[in-house]
Structure 1
Amino acid sequence: MTVVDTVLARIPAPLRGILLKHRELLKFAVVGATTFVIDNGIWYLLKLTILEDKPVTAKIIAVIIATIVSYVLNREWSFRTRGGRERTHEAALFFLFSGIAVGLYSAPVYVSRYWLHLEVPEVSRLVQEVADFTAGSIIGTLLAMFFRYWAFKRWVFPDELGNPRPHRFHDDPADEELGHP
């Protein structure tokens, strides 16, 4: 029994149906949560050490690393039944839209630090860190997440190509239950 089977078996049937119906969005959210941890871990590691005076640069580096992980996880799990594009074309589109998302991630930190001046010495270190977290990890993440989900479904992994990739991993029982290959 897979982890997915175990989790689904414990969820009441009406809710299970809703989760199965929106499984792609849920998988995207799990990938997002994973990359959120990666992004913030790297961001704080960099901005509290070698890039202390360059929080926007630290955020961009962290987001780029998290984006590479996101591509692999989204391609092989979240959107594995979609697509059909040539891999290089798909990757180019993924990274193009993710590049736009880097701006969406970073813009709130830029506004917080350089327009609102929420940085030391104008404010305390605690206020600076709370403002950075709110701007970069909450507002920036939400803006980029909604944009990326929309762009990925629309252009990177579209259904209308009609050429889903063959499965290389264990088939998801949720796909079979909904009549997907």
Structure 2
Amino acid sequence: MTVVETVLARVPAPLRAVLIKHRELLKFAIVGGTTFLIDNGIWYLLKLTVLESKPITAKAIAIIVATIASYVLNREWSFRTRGGRERHHEAALFFLISAGGVVINLIPPYVSRYVFDLEVPHVSRLVQEVADFASGSIIGMLLAMFFRFWGFKKWVFPDELGRRRRGDDLTEEGSAKEDEADTEELGRELGHA
């Protein structure tokens, strides 16, 4: 039994059905949480050491490293049944959408630091760090996350290519039948069908 199956076995049936129905979004959120930790770990490591005077550069480097991890995890786990493009084409689209996400992610901390002057010596070190975290790791990350999820589903890992790759029916009815079959199969595996 996989980790996901073990966790789902402990979730109440009504919530389990919702989680299974929205499994791509759930997986995307888990990948996002993982890359959130990577991003912030690298950002704070850099901005509190070698790039202390360049917090936006430190954030950009951290986002790039987290984006590479995100590509691997999303391709191999979150959207593994989607896509179907040649890998180099898919990767180019992924990193193009992610570049848009990087720009979106950097706008709030840039505004915080250089428009609102929420940096030392204008404010205390604590206020600066709280403002950096709120603007870069919460607001910027959430805006970028919504943009990326939409872009990845629409262009990088489109459903119709995934269905073609698997040889499944492309109709709405085929899609609904596939989702229903996946839910029933997982339920049987968990002993709850």
Question: Is residue 109–residue 135 contact of structure 2 (8 Å, CA) maintained in 1?
Answer: yes
- Aligned-pair distance for 1:77? 0.1
Q: Spell out, residue by residue over 1:149-178, the C-alpha distance to the aligned partner (whole angstroms, 9 max, x if none).
A: 000000000012233479xxxxxxx99633
Larger radius of gyration: 2
Gap regions ≥5 residues in structure 1 = 167-173
The structure richer in helix per residue is 2
Question: What is the alpha-carbon root mean square deviation over aligned residues?
Answer: 1.8
In the aligned structure 1, how far is the partner of 2:33 from the partner of 2:152? 17
In the aligned structure 1, how far is the partner of 2:85 from the partner of 2:114? 41
Match of 2:164 in 1: 163
Match of 2:131 in 1: 131
1:1-181 alignment, distance < 5 Å: 1-161=1-161, 162-164=163-165, 177-178=182-183
Identity across aligned pairs (percent)?
73
Q: Spell out, residue by residue over 1:127-149, the C-alpha distance to the aligned partner (whole angstroms, 9 max, x if none).
A: 00000000000000000000000
In the aligned structure 2, how far is the partner of 1:62 from the partner of 1:165? 35
For residues 66 and 51 of structure 1, do their structure 2 counterparts lie closer, same or farther at Cα, with a shift above 3 Å needed? Answer: same
Give the TM-score, by structure 1 length. 0.91
More relative contact order, 1 or 2 (CA 8 Å, 6+ apart): 1
Gap regions ≥5 residues in structure 2 = 168-178, 186-193
Q: Spell out, residue by residue over 1:92-151, the C-alpha distance to the aligned partner (whole angstroms, 9 max, x if none).
A: 000000001001111111000000000000000000000000000000000000000000
